[in-house]
Amino acid sequence: MGTIGFIGAGNMAKAIIQAILRKKLYTADRIGIYDHHSSHYPWFTKHGVQAMEDEKKLARFSDIIILSVKPQNYDNVLHQIRGVSDSKTIVSIAAGISSTFIKERLGKDTKVVLVMPNTPLSLGEGATAICRCLPTSDDEFSAIKAVFASGGVVQELPEKLMNAVISVNGSSPAYVYLFAKSVIDGAVKQGIDAETAKSLICQVLIGSAKMLIHSDKSLDELIQAVSSKGGTTIAALDQLYAHNFESAIVDAMDHCTKRAEELGK
C-alpha cells in the first residue's frame, strides 16, 4: 500500500476519502491532506488523515497527489510542489485543466491523470470520467482508477472529451437537484407537503435510473410506456416540450463545456 495526498480539503476531497476509507483501499495514516485553511481539517483529522504543514510536505509524503483545488489556484499549487513531485503521479480533478497545463509547470515527463468525479461518490454512487496521460504506467493508472471505482462507476475517455464530459457527470447532479426542487415546489403549490413530495420524487429518480440501467427499451420507449394517449403524462410532457425542456438541457451542457474551456486558458 502506497500513500495518497490531497491538496485542498473541500467537499470533493472529503467525498473521495470517504470512499477510500469505506473500501479500505488505504489506511487513514497513509492519506495526507493540506489546505491553506486549517479550519477545514477537523473532519479529516478526526478520521485519522494526516494533516500537512504545506504543499511540499504533502507532495513528499504522497505517491499519488490529488489536486482538489479550484482551477484558478492551480498555478500557485503547481509552483509550490515543483521539484518535489518528479516521481509522483499528479491527479487533476478540476474543470478545464489539461495535461499540457500541468506538464508546462512541472516538467514534460510528469505523470498525469485527469479525472472528473462527482459528489455522489461519497455514498458509493459516483460517476467518474478518467483519462490516463503518458508516461503514467499501467500500475499507476490502475491504482488511481481503483480510488475512484471505490466510489462508483468509472469510465475512461480520451483527453479531448474531458471538458465535454463535465456536463454529463460532473455538473449534472445540480440539474437533477434543480429538477427535484421544481417537482417539490410544484407539489407544495398543489397542497402536498414538501417532505412527502421529496420522499416520492427521490424514489422516482432511483427507480427511473434503475429502469434505464436494466430495461432493454430505448429512452423513447420508456417515455411512451408512461404516456397514455390523451392522459395526464402527455399533458405534462406537452408543456415540457412547449418550453423547450430538451433544448434547455442541451444548451446548458454546451455552456458548461465552454466554461470549462475558458477556465483552462
**Sequence letter at residue 244:** N
| pLDDT of 1 above 70 | no
- Look up residue 124 and give its three cell numbers: 458509493
CA dist 130 and 117 (Å) reads: 8
CA dist 37 and 59 (Å) reads: 18
Distance set, CA 112 to CA 108, 109, 142, 232 (Å): 10, 9, 13, 51
Distance set, CA 131 to CA 13, 144, 164, 246 (Å): 19, 10, 13, 29
| pLDDT of 76 above 70 | yes
CA dist 17 and 13 (Å) reads: 6
SS3 105: helix
| pLDDT of 27 above 70 | yes
Nearest 5°: the CA angle 149, 153, 159 is 90
* Global pTM value: 0.91
CA dist 151 and 116 (Å) reads: 13
pLDDT, one tens digit per residue, over 150-164 is 999 999 999 999 999
Where in the chain is CATH 1.10.3730.10?
165-264
Whole-number mean pLDDT of the chain?
95
CA dist 112 and 109 (Å) reads: 9
Q: Pick from 150, 96, 117: which is nearest to 264 by CA? A: 96
Q: What is the mean pLDDT of residues 55-66?
A: 97
| pLDDT of 26 above 70 | yes
4-157 to CATH, choices 3.40.50.720, 3.40.50.2000, 3.40.50.970, 1.10.150.110 = 3.40.50.720
- Look up residue 121 and give its three cell numbers: 461518490
Where in the chain is CATH 3.40.50.720?
4-157
| pLDDT of 134 above 80 | yes
Q: What is the mean pLDDT of residues 209-234?
A: 96
Q: Enter the DSSP assignment of 231.
A: S
Q: What band does 86 get if pLDDT is binned at 50, 70 and 90? A: confident
User: What CATH number labels 165-264?
Assistant: 1.10.3730.10
